[in-house]
Amino acid sequence: MSTTLTNDEIERYSRHLILPEVGVKGQEKLRDAKVLLIGAGGLGSPLAVYLAASGVGTIGIVDFDVVDVSNLQRQIIHSTKDIGQPKLDSAEAYINGLNPFVTVIKHNTRLDSDNALDILKDYDVVADGTDNFATRYLVNDACVLLGIPNAYGSIFRFEGQASVFYAKEGPCYRCLYPEPPPPGLVPNCAEGGVLGVLPGIIGTLQAMETIKLILGEGDPLVGRLLLFDAMKMKFREMTLRKDPACPICGENPSITELIDYEQFCGLGPTHDEPKKETSMIPEISPSALKARLDAGDDVFVLDVREPHEHDICRINGTTLIPLGELGTRYKELDASKEIIVHCKMGGRSAQACAFLQKNGFENVTNLSGGISGWSDDVDSSIAKY
């Protein structure tokens, strides 16, 4: 039987068609495949671009965010003209421009336990490029329950991880990491930073693995964790094993349906235990703090960001002690004074307040919205980063 590819498709994909490992049959598989990208961000961008160029016939994308100027340093599917637009729309426009043979399905929602199975069930491969642990575990569990392979990638600063979690053939994400870190122990990208090229490297690895899974060719990263260090320019490979005691893909699974992942990742609020750490911390708005400083109130403003953030912008008259150093340096502070703590957005400063409270500081207040809020409400000459 001759190919069902059209002449236009044959021309477009000719470099694939002359590869024996792809050929006409492989290209038909790609065209008939449905791949779901979780997130149209740093990893999702190169994934979407290469999968679309390669001729994956249906690309679904789950995202609910809009394009921000700070995304453009790495999220190459979006452009300056797209700022403020839904990421789904700019990704769709890019894909349509690149390859009209691709159908884009837009899932404009936050993936959660109520919708995940319904969204994922129609896809052949899932490529996870999310930015938080709750969604990582949700995507893993949904893929295990549905029997779908997950081309996984994750990044931090200059370091990346990639694997394929496919419970039918090997370990899942929970076999690798049974539990997430508690909130605050590991900084996210917004706090930790990421070199723009890095998601390009890890995302294209995910794209390669996705295509191999569709073609059924080569050795996918099932049972292997690839570690990439951009600074050393080194790849290393760790052997992963299926954990017989894995709560979802093990011999006696205790998880048989999706759970509450926010709670699982310690992000609360749980039903019977209100979030103690932050509920006890008083907050002050940027404009209220400005008024108090202008009035000459004797308040001590503590900046708990990192020195390189302090180099970008600062509020005059503040003292810098990075959150990570607070544990050894808090005795430099005067517990008899009122201390107002700020960071970039308010998250790290809330942790700092909780820590200071535990160590005998009775008069600590968190600056809501951090220096970013200060820029919005008080002083627009302060750069937002």
Partner 1 sequence: MPTLVMIPTALRKYTDDQSEVQIEGATVGDILGNLASEFSELKKHLYTEDGTIRSFVNVYLNNDDIRYLQQNDTAVGDSDTLSIVPSIAGGSI
Q: How far apart are the C-alpha atoms of 265 and 268, rounded to whole Å?
A: 8
Binding mask 19-48 for partner 1 (x = CB under 8 A): --------------------xxxxxx----
Piece of the chain touching partner 1 by CB under 8 A; list 21-29, 118-126, 224-232, 344-352: 224-232
156 binds partner 1 (CB under 8 A): yes
Q: Which two tokens stand for residue 333?
A: 């502070």
Catalytic-labelled residue, pool 143, 246, 249, 343: 343
Q: How far apart are the C-alpha atoms of 92 and 87, rounded to whole Å?
A: 8
186 binds partner 1 (CB under 8 A): yes
- Active-site residue flag, 343: yes
264 binds partner 1 (CB under 8 A): no
**Buried (b) or exposed (e) across 182-201, using 16+ Cβ within 10 A?**
ebeeebebebeebbeebbbb
Q: Work out which of 54, 58, 140, 154 binds partner 1, going by CB under 8 A.
A: 154
300 binds partner 1 (CB under 8 A): no
**Alpha-carbon dihedral angle through residues 250, 153, 68, 261, given to the nearest 10 degrees:** 10
Catalytic-labelled residue, pool 175, 189, 249, 265: 189
CB of 135 to partner 1, least distance (A): 8
Phi/psi of residue 288, nearest 5 degrees:
-65, -40
Are 195 and 73 spatial neighbours (Cβ–Cβ below 8 Å)? no
132 binds partner 1 (CB under 8 A): yes
Piece of the chain touching partner 1 by CB under 8 A; list 112-120, 181-189, 253-261, 290-298: 181-189
Packing angle between helix 286-294 and helix 370-377, nearest 10 degrees?
70
DSSP for 30-50, please give it: HHH-EEEEE-SSTTHHHHHHH
CA distance from start to end of the chain: 57
CB of 56 to partner 1, least distance (A): 19
Nearer to partner 1, 128 or 303 (CB): 128
Q: How far apart are the C-alpha atoms of 70 and 42, rounded to whole Å?
A: 11
- Active-site residue flag, 175: no
Residues binding partner 1 (CB under 8 A): 39-44, 63, 65, 128-133, 136, 153-159, 161, 176-181, 185-190, 192, 194, 199, 202, 225, 227, 229, 231-232, 236-241, 243, 324, 327-328
Catalytic positions are: 189, 343
